[in-house]
């Protein structure tokens, strides 16, 4: 696509949306690590210098995508947890919580890939303004998740729900990375069946990890 120079605030907002939409589409084709500013600019139909008029860097584009994906996921997770009855035994509620977290994350591979790259890649080469905007959105999503999890598992309390969410998010990112290896690692698994024992699958590995985490933060009675 080719753009004329954006002059109004609405035109600038539309340009930003186009850049974000193009980056989102690219992430359905390639991992975060392979998305370059040059290719993003080419697909949007702008010079790289023009893209940088709207975002500080490639990382700033991806951080805003992370914010958007995170907000959407929290809404979906809250809706899924809204159907969990507080009258159920704690073990049943715990399993429904784990199922909801894993199920909603599995449907959002772009978010999982972004989370896996957040601290090591995306939070570098950005301005303080970009960092503030991202962290404020993340904090709001975190509070919403705490409320949703604590409503299902009041035994956790606010602190326990916060520990579950914070550590669970890191766990999801790490497991996503290991369960979606580069072609050379996939080829190694295929070449040597004995390596299957250390191969990770996202859903069962995350479910097992969240189960261990959740029962670890539940108060002992």
Q: What is the pLDDT of residues 128-158, one digit of tens each?
A: 999 999 999 999 999 999 999 999 999 999 9
Percent with pLDDT over 70 in the chain: 96
In terms of domains, do 14 and 90 share one? no
The answer to whether the Cα torsion of 96, 134, 139, 173 is positive or negative is positive
What pTM was estimated for this model as a whole? 0.88
Looking up residue 25, the CATH number of its domain turns out to be 1.10.10.60
In terms of domains, do 124 and 100 share one? yes
Range of the domain at 39: 1-54
In terms of domains, do 144 and 93 share one? yes
* Average pLDDT of every residue of the chain: 92
Distance CA 51, CA 15 (A): 9
* Confidence band for 6, pLDDT divided at 50, 70 and 90: low
**Mean pLDDT of all residues in 27-35:** 93
In terms of domains, do 30 and 64 share one? no
CB of 124 closer than 8 Å to CB of 57? no
**Mean pLDDT of all residues in 159-169:** 94
In terms of domains, do 144 and 183 share one? yes
* 35: nearest Cα among 1, 59, 11: 59
Looking up residue 112, the CATH number of its domain turns out to be 1.10.357.10
Distance CA 21, CA 27 (A): 10
Q: Give the 3-state DSSP-derived string for 17-62, with helices as H, strands as E and coil as C.
A: HHHHHHHHHHHCCCCHHHCCHHHHHHHHCCCHHHHCCCCCCHHHHH
Number of domain units in the chain = 2
In terms of domains, do 132 and 181 share one? yes
In terms of domains, do 106 and 183 share one? yes
* 164: nearest Cα among 147, 177, 176, 180: 147
In terms of domains, do 205 and 169 share one? yes
In terms of domains, do 26 and 124 share one? no
In terms of domains, do 94 and 149 share one? yes
**Mean pLDDT of all residues in 187-198:** 94
The pLDDT score that the predictor gives to residue 40 is 96
* Confidence band for 69, pLDDT divided at 50, 70 and 90: very high
Q: Quick one: tokens of 122?
A: 């995306």
The pLDDT score that the predictor gives to residue 2 is 46
In terms of domains, do 5 and 90 share one? no
CA R_g for the chain: 20
In terms of domains, do 95 and 199 share one? yes
**Mean pLDDT of all residues in 15-23:** 94
By residue count, the chain amounts to 221
| pLDDT above 70 for 170 | yes
């Amino acid at each position: 696509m080719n753009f004329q120079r954006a002059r109004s605030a609405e035109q600038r907002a539309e340009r930003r949306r186009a850049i974000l939409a193009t980056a989102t589409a690219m992430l359905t084709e390639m991992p975060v690590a392979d998305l370059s500013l040059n290719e993003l600019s080419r697909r949007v139909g702008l010079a790289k210098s023009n893209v940088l008029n709207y975002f500080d860097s490639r990382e700033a584009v991806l951080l805003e995508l992370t914010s958007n994906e995170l907000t959407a996921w929290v809404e979906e997770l809250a809706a899924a947890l809204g159907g969990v009855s507080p009258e159920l035994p704690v073990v049943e509620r715990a399993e429904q919580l784990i199922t909801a977290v894993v199920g909603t994350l599995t449907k959002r591979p772009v978010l999982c890939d972004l989370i896996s790259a957040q601290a090591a890649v995306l939070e570098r080469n950005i301005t303080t303004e970009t960092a503030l905007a991202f962290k404020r959105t993340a904090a709001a999503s975190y509070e919403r998740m705490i409320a949703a999890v604590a409503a299902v598992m009041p035994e956790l309390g606010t602190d326990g729900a916060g520990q579950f969410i914070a550590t669970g998010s890191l766990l999801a990112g790490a497991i996503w990375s290991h369960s979606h290896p580069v072609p050379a690692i996939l080829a190694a698994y295929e070449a040597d069946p004995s390596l299957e024992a250390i191969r990770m699958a996202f859903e069962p590995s995350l479910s097992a990890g969240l189960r261990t985490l959740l029962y670890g933060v539940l108060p002992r009675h």
